Structure 1
Amino acid sequence: MFNPSREEARRFFFDTWRKYQVKESLSGLEGTALDIILQHPEYHAMLSDPEKHIDRDFLPEFGETNPFLHMSMHLAIEEQLSIDQPQGIRSHYQNLLKKGSTAHDAQHIAMDCLAEMIWQAQRNNSAPDASVYLNCLTTKVHRNS
């Protein structure tokens, strides 16, 4: 399993943005990351200044969202959808789209459920439980009816 450090993960997004700006070719994963970056123009200035932001902490107690965590969760959802893991996520995602969610909004809903599963695993000191994730998505799909 690929397990980059915080700096490596951040450099990946910085490098992808830089390559896009100078029109260098991108790998498959970089292309996916670029699609995510382009959907978040609020991060473009930050991505253009890696030395200022490579070590920056984004503190929720100050109302800050960590853009690297946010984009990484988008990448995780993209990967999960591509391989339908956990099994059934693709169906839930498609149901959100059928109920009128945009692709971006549907990913944000999935991200909320992914975060819930991770939080519960941490709280219970247990492995992540895919049923928690999928049950959350089921609830969100029905709520969007």
Structure 2
Amino acid sequence: MFTPSQADVRQFFCSVYAKSRSGQAQEAIEVLAAHWIEEHPEYHADLADSAAALEKMYDTQTGQTNPFLHLSMHLSISEQCSIDQPPGIRQAVELLVARRGDLHAAHHEVMECLGNMLWESQRAGRPPDGQAYIDQVRRRATRD
């Protein structure tokens, strides 16, 4: 299993941003990451300085969003949908996208569900409950 460090993740996104800006060729995962980076211009300054990015701490208590966590969640959801893992996530996300009419907005809702699943797993000391995650996404897809 691939387990990148915090520094690896930050370096990856900074590198993708640099490649995108200079027009360099990218691998498939980098193209996907570049798409999500483009969707978040508010993160570009953080991504432009890789040395600072490696050192910066984000305090969620003061409302700071960690751009690297946020972008990683976009990538995770994209990958989950591409391989339909956990089984049924692709359809649940597609339903939410159809309901919201916006992939990006739907991803942000799915992130809340993903975060809830991970928090519950850690709190209870048990493996993540993929079915509960999918059920949360489906509930969002069926409400206004």
TMscore range, shorter length = over 0.9
Cα shift readout 1:78-135 (whole Å, capped 9, x = no counterpart) = 0001011111111111111222330001111111111000000011011101122012
**TM-score of the pair, normalised by structure 2:** 0.96
Task: Give the equivalent residue in structure 2 for 1:84.
Answer: 84
Task: Give the equivalent residue in structure 2 for 1:132.
Answer: 132
**TM-score of the pair, normalised by structure 1:** 0.95
Q: Write the distance in 2 (CA, Å) between the matches of 1:51 and 1:80.
A: 30
Q: Specify every segment of 5 or more residues in structure 2 that has no aligned partner in the other structure, as ranges.
A: none
Task: Give the equivalent residue in structure 1 for 2:103.
Answer: 103
Q: Does the 8 A contact of 2:95 with 2:138 survive in 1?
A: no
Q: Does the 8 A contact of 2:100 with 2:106 survive in 1?
A: no
Q: Write the distance in 1 (CA, Å) between the matches of 2:97 and 2:46.
A: 30
Instruction: Letter of the 1:85 partner, please give it.
Output: Q
Identity across matched positions, percent: 39
Aligned 1:1-145 pairs, distance under 5 A: 1-144=1-144
Q: Specify every segment of 5 or more residues in structure 1 that has no aligned partner in the other structure, as ranges.
A: none
**Structure 1 moving runs of 4+ over 2 Å:** none
